[in-house]
Amino acid sequence: MFGVWRANRMQRAAAPLCGLVKNDRGSVAIMFGLTIFVLFTIVGSAVDYGRAMLARARLQAAVDSSVLAAARVWQLENSLDLAEEKALAHFDSNKPTEPSRVVEFTPNMVDSTFTMVGETVVRTPFLSFVNHPTITVATRGQALIAGGGNAGTNLEVSLMLDVTGSMAGTKIEDLKSAAKDLIDIVVWADQAEFTSRVALAPFSTAVNAGALGPSVAYNPTSSLSFKQRSGGNSTRHRTSTYCVSERTGAAAFTDAAPTGNDRIPRAYQTSSSTACIPSAPIVPMTSNKDTLKTVVNGFTANGMTAGHLGTAWAWYLLSPNWANVLPEGSKPQPYAMLQQVGEKGQPLLKKVAVLMTDGEYNQQYCNSTTGGTAGATIPDYDTGTSGANCKAPNGTSTKQARDMCKAMNDAGITVYTVGFDLPEPKGGKDADSVVTLRGCASEPHMFYNTKTGDELRNAFRHIATAIAAPILSR
């Protein structure tokens, strides 16, 4: 009996301890539940905020691309209404899937900027448990129009422009409009820190060196005598003007400084007093739009197509090797600057050549009466015909142009090419002019094969906005 009594007493004494054990287990469960809730909230919040940050990044991209689209339309169409319409449409097609809207769109033509503020609402399934069902995020983007300020890059652009006889009529007027459009877009108003300059290299049978003539042109001989096909002799005289042809020898396909025998030979013609074709002179790089447009407006169509000469001069006017013969405000920057970048990672310098022609290159110069050079003929300024066989030391105009293009690209110059009403393919093969221009372009998409005046103008505009594109300045 005593043993039973003792056992019962011990059980009654242990009962409170058992209760304590049960109560402790209940506390742990509560604490565990609270911990899980806190962890759930933290992890869920991270997920929701992550979704919000992703939506913000997409919203920023939509806003940025929209203001850039507005600036591009303004450059091309000069219409604020169209610019705003394009910006809003671009935002709608690129905005995040969450409810998004444009809060503000502000063009400022004084500062040459387009500004947009976008907003999106992100649903938060986890934070909704703590009474935060959504997060609203907003971003701002601003584009600076390169034509009114600058893009943090110095631009050097040369235009090779075909003013040969085949450009007569509406075609030369189309070219004038296209060239002036490019000048308006590329040359910006503020030249204080970064410059944008354009040079002109009109060409036909020869190139008119203009004011550079005294420094770069010379006469290897006063005249040349060629045997005509009829058996007689034909004498050609070096021009007394600064009408130049191509240089030969080691410097033929280079941008070497025009010194000594590396200067540019004057063209020969039937009379030394005959005016140069073309009459329009080259224009070294300048940011003076009036100067550039005055020369463009004076273009007349005449002569044959020495495309290699235009190609060469488009390069010379961008070459730092020619700095000593160019006016102070026209001196090109060193090639090494092409590799330097600014604070935003943008290149500090772009050198761009735009080569435009409407036909096959058919004019090169000779230095002997030796026959056997296919296609090499003597130019005749009076009749535009060829009177004798001769030898062109550098090869045909087409070959020379292709060699010059390769060297120009190798030097780091970006080359765009524009054909205008070029010959159609024959026998399944492209015309030589198409092959030449396509090969000269730095990239395949930098060749434009246009057929109409509108297409020519659009090509020049597209090139202009590509090289003087608006930048983000938010």
Which positions ≥6 away from 40 have C-beta within 8 Å? Answer: 126
Q: Is 249 left (phi over 0), alpha (psi -120 to 50) or beta?
A: left
Tell me which residue has tokens 């004011």.
211
User: What are the Cα distances from residue 80, in Å, to 90, 109, 190?
Assistant: 15, 10, 21
| Digit-coded pLDDT (tens) for 229-266 | 566 667 778 888 899 999 988 999 999 999 998 999 99
**Could you give the percent of the chain with pLDDT greater than 90?**
46
Rounded to whole angstroms, what are the CA distances from 69 to 86, 90, 465? 7, 7, 11
| Two structure tokens written together for 401 | 């142009």
Question: Distance between CA atoms of 431 and 394, rounded to whole angstroms?
Answer: 21
Query: Where exactly does CATH 3.40.50.410 map onto the chain?
Result: 154-472
Q: What is the mean pLDDT of residues 342-348?
A: 80
Q: What pLDDT, on a 0 to 100 scale, did the predictor assign at position 32? A: 52
- Give the pLDDT score at 129: 64
Query: Which pLDDT score is estimated for 1?
Result: 45
177/366: higher pLDDT: 177
Question: Rounded to 10 degrees, what is the CA torsion of 232, 218, 408, 350?
Answer: -140
Position 284 scores a pLDDT of: 98
How do strand 264-265 and strand 217-218 relate by DSSP bridges? parallel
How sure is the predictor about 312, in pLDDT bands with cuts at 50, 70 and 90? Answer: very high
Q: How far apart are CA 379 and CA 381, in angstroms?
A: 6
Which residue bears the tokens 């057929």?
451
CA distance linking residue 216 with residue 209, whole number of Å: 8
Radius of gyration of the CA atoms of the chain, in A: 36
pLDDT at 228: 62
The structure tokens listed for 178 are: 């296209």
Residue 12 CA to residue 1 CA, distance in Å, equals 17
2 has pLDDT over 50: no
Nearest in space to 154 (alpha carbons), one of 413, 412, 349: 349
User: 272-293, pLDDT tens digit by residue?
Assistant: 777 899 999 999 999 999 999 9
Least confident of 101-105, 340-344, 399-403: 340-344
- Global pTM reads 0.72
> Which residues pair with residue 269 across a beta bridge?
237
Residue 78 — φ and ψ, nearest 5°? 55, 40
The pLDDT of residue 373: 32
* Structure token pair of residue 408: 């120009």
Calculate helix-pair angle for 432-440, 397-410, nearest 10 degrees. Answer: 10
The residue ranking higher by pLDDT, 456 or 14, is 456
What is the per-residue pLDDT for 381?
34
User: What are the φ and ψ backbone dihedral angles of 2, each rounded to 5 degrees?
Assistant: -60, -40
Q: pLDDT per residue over 47-73, tens digit each? A: 767 777 888 888 998 899 888 888 878
Mean pLDDT of the chain: 82
> What pLDDT score was predicted for residue 209?
96
pLDDT higher than 70, residue 17 = no
Q: Answer whether 317's CB lies under 8 Å from 207's CB.
A: no
Kindly provide the residue ranges of all beta strands, DSSP E only, lying in 193-302, ordered along the sequence. 196-203, 207-208, 217-218, 223-227, 233-238, 243-244, 264-265, 268-269, 283-286
Annotate 301-332 with DSSP letters as a single string: --S---HHHHHHHHHHTT-GGGGGGS-GGGPP
For residue 267, which of 357, 205, 200, 202 has the smallest C-alpha distance? 205
Structure confidence at residue 39 as a pLDDT band (50, 70, 90): low
Is the domain 154-472 a CATH 2.60.40.10 member? no
> Strand 283-286 to strand 196-203: parallel, antiparallel, or no bridges (unpaired)?
antiparallel
pLDDT interval class at 227 (50, 70, 90): low
Tell me which residue has tokens 């319409």.
85
Does residue 92 have a pLDDT over 60? yes
Residue 368 has pLDDT above 70, yes or no: no
pLDDT at 288: 96
Average pLDDT over residues 135-158: 78
Alpha-carbon span 203 to 207, nearest angstrom? 5
% of the chain beyond a pLDDT of 70? 76
Largest CA distance in the chain: 157
pLDDT for 401: 96
Q: pLDDT for 187-207, tens place per residue?
A: 887 788 889 999 999 999 999
Q: Where is pLDDT greater, at 99 or 156?
A: 156
